[in-house]
Structure 1
């Protein structure tokens, strides 16, 4: 299984599983440093769409190289049966685990987690890449505690050869997916902004804005898009934070903020501190 990379890396224990394969801890034979290796058995991929995603992920990671909050590609080993993608090792709890443990966060603490995520998304969008599966499970942390956006298996180019092109296809995860994706319409990179907005809502409230007893009920709640701020939960949340949430979790895509606009919102500029007198229009 690991013949193609055994000269450069020693593969150790399995540390996770993704949609296309398993993730292992590995050690560089040259430096002794530890990394993560996602290994996919290509013989099990009969769907042409899955094969396209598999081929696309390392190319996208290479394109996104250099941003401190995006998982860094170290090496790719491709043979007839397996694809091995070696990246940064993130062996701390992911954001899902942190949310489960803490339930909710103060606004400054939420900002500290949210700002690097939006910075990473803005970088993706600048180079024409939409992630399309923003969720806490795909937000990792390295041993130094630095946030790393990961798992670009569903990512897509929306700007190619100098032209913007719409994206299609239902991808994403029930609580976080944007309504235009579920509607089967063409959509833009702003689907990532919706998903990031849902994550910010959960950081501040401890619960998702849209949910149901089943995935179908959750999808129906997302499609309705009736964003609420229950008084009991949001009593101590600032107007600035709620204003940002309204402008990210907005069904009207033309009014939904871009990732760059999110970075310039008063709540972001003030570091999640309350009591700002900045203009919210």
Structure 2
């Protein structure tokens, strides 16, 4: 944990982006929490303009399904955006790989997403990067749209313009965005359709919406109905997906039409919440697809692994952990005015309490181990070696894994271990790439370590 300003501590990294990171700030006295987006204005030539535009757009927005912007400050070449903290984590964390989630949950999140998007479009704003990683959940599991770094105004004083900037995340982007120019509203709706499919199937239908993708080509030709992904959808859900993911923007369903679709009006019975019990989720999920190797998940022995590409040799891991143990800490923030008024921004180390630890963002990509922190790190590294995932470890004992997903796209995630006296918290966090693919890797690694995991 680091001290940000007097009374406020940085206790967790929530995410990373093109220009910087998002951190969790906690107030020492009130235990309130705020998300802090730190942007390096020197990282790219247009970073300052992008932050200015993001701030101006975000300040216009006030809606229950959109993350609130609380304020902004600049110090030398760094910009700080203070945002509402969504403690429920990211939507992708609710999506089980190859399984998805209960239809009732998906319907709830889809309704809230469309409600927030309808508000944005009514204000003449397009998001342009709708995906589960940018859809956050509050403590009551209500969805909130976040990250307006790619947002822009497409309608001003009643006049709408076409857009030509190619932006977004490839598996979620609409086909017309890659061709340009395009209209804003249908392209956002397309992205919502991909999120819809991901929530119900636990898969992405294609890596990119072009003829280079066989899956997308079959979708366009309507020859995909027998494929395993689409067979997971009910008749009604498939009908809605077809109408949202229409390759012709003019024929794509509009927001009111989606909300009026039969599937959106069904009263689903939540007999079972597939996101409640991580242990049962892992049992029902088939072995994840993996283009890197076809090995089955082993139960790895506790013998010391041989490192593949570490910054620190495996034999010195114990020394690294021991030397850094006293630096591991936590805590929480919210008197927002204090954050904005204090003129001195600095970072110093401070200690974390168990009470404050409870305020950390909820993640399903974590587990607790019943062996020592040093032994836990060694076992995790051995699992990474077995699955041939390139990894490195820094002096703070954070493991960075750099691999590729099933679409050969870069996938980077980080693993932190925190000594909590009677157990060790092992926390996995996505750094770059697809959240669903990241979850697949987490399940695979976790299943290989069942003998050291605490049973709750």
Range into which the TM-score falls when normalised by the shorter chain: 0.7 to 0.9
Specify the SS of the correspondent of 2:36: strand
Partner Cα separation in structure 2 for residue 165 and residue 8 of structure 1: 46
Whether 1:64 and 2:64 are equivalent positions in the alignment is no
Whether 1:118 and 2:117 are equivalent positions in the alignment is no
Gaps spanning 5+ residues in structure 2: where? 270-456
**1:195-233, Cα deviation, whole Å (9 max, x unpaired):** 110111122222222237xx9945x75577526333655
Partner Cα separation in structure 2 for residue 163 and residue 179 of structure 1: 24
Whether 1:14 and 2:16 are equivalent positions in the alignment is no
TM-score by length of 1: 0.82
Deviation at 1:12, TM superposition (A): 3.8
Deviation at 1:250, TM superposition (A): 0.7
The alignment of Structure 1 onto Structure 2 pairs a total of residues equal to: 265
Structure whose alpha-carbon radius of gyration is higher:
2
Change (3 A) 1:216 1:74: farther
Change (3 A) 1:94 1:229: farther
4+ runs deviating over 4 angstroms: 7-10, 28-32, 215-218, 220-225, 231-236
Change (3 A) 1:13 1:216: farther
**RMSD of equivalent CA atoms:** 2.9
Q: Counterpart in 2 of 1:84?
A: 80
**1:237-278, Cα deviation, whole Å (9 max, x unpaired):** 3332222111110111111112233222222233568xxxxx
Change (3 A) 1:224 1:130: farther
TM-score by length of 2: 0.53
Q: Counterpart in 1 of 2:328?
A: none
Q: Counterpart in 2 of 1:158?
A: 154
Change (3 A) 1:230 1:78: farther
Partner Cα separation in structure 2 for residue 264 and residue 30 of structure 1: 47
Change (3 A) 1:216 1:28: farther
Q: Counterpart in 2 of 1:143?
A: 139
Gaps spanning 5+ residues in structure 1: where? 274-281
**1:161-204, Cα deviation, whole Å (9 max, x unpaired):** 33111111110111110000111323322111101101111222
Question: Greater RCO between the two (CA within 8 Å, min separation 6)?
Answer: 2
